[in-house]
């Protein structure tokens, strides 16, 4: 068995105002997994992501990174693409490298590679106001990829997009993950998106935030669009919905 990338043991997070955001979270993540965290608003999904990113510390338990240090290069993608409106696509993607003191000239090729990866060739000089919501999200993903991360932390990245765009970006992300072998920790409250993308879906419940199911999505064939309409896909969605309904007493959106 491979060395885990990250091991969370009995993690608690109580915010200073007394909110118990997480209680006794145990989660071991192996390199190359695509893990989604699903659950209703307020169950602590974003808190898990922030703790993994080192943005705040747990109030109990331990977080270990047993893997070599070069496998811990993290990048964060949020729902809001947060692009600089006065800067074009190239300059927006350059930002994280600029912050490390790398000039545009020295990293031009890396930026172009990231642009090609997210299919934005031809839009290098466009400004955010000239791009659709889906294209802005592609810029945001390219800005994360340009740092060559091994681990992608994604907090509802496609939550604000229309269904068609979300579906297209889901497929593109899946293909990229299959090619690049990243480890992805993905927050969503869309069960269908979670099942389509993930190798494992972690189902959470609120008050206090906790894990209520850990569902491996075992798909043998390469995962293509046809998976979305298969009986296997429906089976996983129903299984996860049943857990959520039992915990909440209602379905989730
Ligand atoms: P989710 O991502 O599943 O919607 P969050 O991780 O954002 O959940 O929040 C979990 C719980 O912690 C919620 O009850 C939320 O109101 C609370 N919370 C989140 N951040 C803070 C904070 N900085 N201070 C106090 N409470 C917080």
Task: For residue 43, give the ligand 1 atom closest to its CA.
Answer: 3
Question: Is the shortest distance between the CB of 96 and ligand 1 below 6 Å?
Answer: no
Mean residue pLDDT of the chain comes to 92
Domains along the chain with CATH numbers: 1-65+169-253 (3.40.50.300), 74-149 (no CATH)
The alpha carbon of 42 and the centre of ligand 1 are apart by a number of angstroms equal to 6
141-157 pLDDT tens trace: 999 999 989 999 999 99
Question: Is the shortest distance between the CB of 169 and ligand 1 below 6 Å?
Answer: no
The three-class DSSP label of residue 185 is: strand
Pocket test residue of 42, 55, 79 for ligand 1, highest count of atoms within 8 A of CB: 42
25-58 pLDDT tens trace: 999 999 999 999 999 999 999 999 999 999 999 9
CA 10 to chain CA centroid, nearest Å: 22
Is residue 252 over pLDDT 50?
Answer: no
CA 62 to chain CA centroid, nearest Å: 22
Joined tokens for residue 230: 């298969």
Residue 16 CB neighbour total at 10 angstroms: 6
Is residue 222 over pLDDT 80?
Answer: no
Give the per-residue pLDDT at 250: 45
Question: Are 111 and 75 spatial neighbours (Cβ–Cβ below 8 Å)?
Answer: no
**pTM (predicted TM-score):** 0.92
Joined tokens for residue 115: 């642009």
What's the rounded Cα separation, in Å, for the pair 89 and 79? 18
């Amino acid at each position: 068995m491979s060395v885990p990338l990250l091991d969370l043991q009995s993690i608690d997070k109580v915010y200073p105002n007394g909110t118990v955001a997480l209680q006794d979270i145990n989660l071991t993540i192996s390199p190359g997994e695509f893990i989604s965290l699903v659950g209703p608003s307020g169950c602590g999904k974003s808190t898990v992501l922030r703790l993994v990113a080192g943005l705040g510390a747990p109030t109990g338990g331990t977080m270990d990174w047993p893997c070599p240090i070069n496998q811990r290069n993290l990048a964060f993608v949020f729902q809001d693409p947060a692009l600089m409106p006065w800067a074009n696509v190239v300059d927006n993607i350059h930002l994280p490298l600029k912050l490390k003191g790398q000039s545009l000239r020295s990293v031009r090729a890396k930026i172009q590679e990231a642009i090609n990866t997210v299919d934005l060739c031809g839009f290098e000089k466009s400004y955010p106001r000239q791009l659709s919501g889906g294209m802005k999200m592609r810029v945001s993903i390219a800005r994360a990829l340009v740092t060559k991360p091994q681990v992608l932390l994604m907090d509802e990245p496609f939550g604000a997009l229309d269904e068609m765009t979300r579906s297209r970006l889901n497929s593109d992300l899946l293909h990229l993950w299959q090619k690049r072998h990243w480890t992805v920790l993905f927050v969503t409250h869309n069960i269908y998106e979670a099942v389509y993308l993930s190798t494992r879906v972690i189902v959470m419940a609120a008050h206090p935030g906790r894990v209520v199911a850990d569902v491996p999505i075992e798909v043998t064939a390469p995962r293509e669009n046809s998976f979305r309409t298969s009986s296997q896909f429906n089976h996983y969605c129903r299984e996860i919905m049943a857990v959520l309904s039992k915990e909440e007493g209602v379905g989730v959106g």
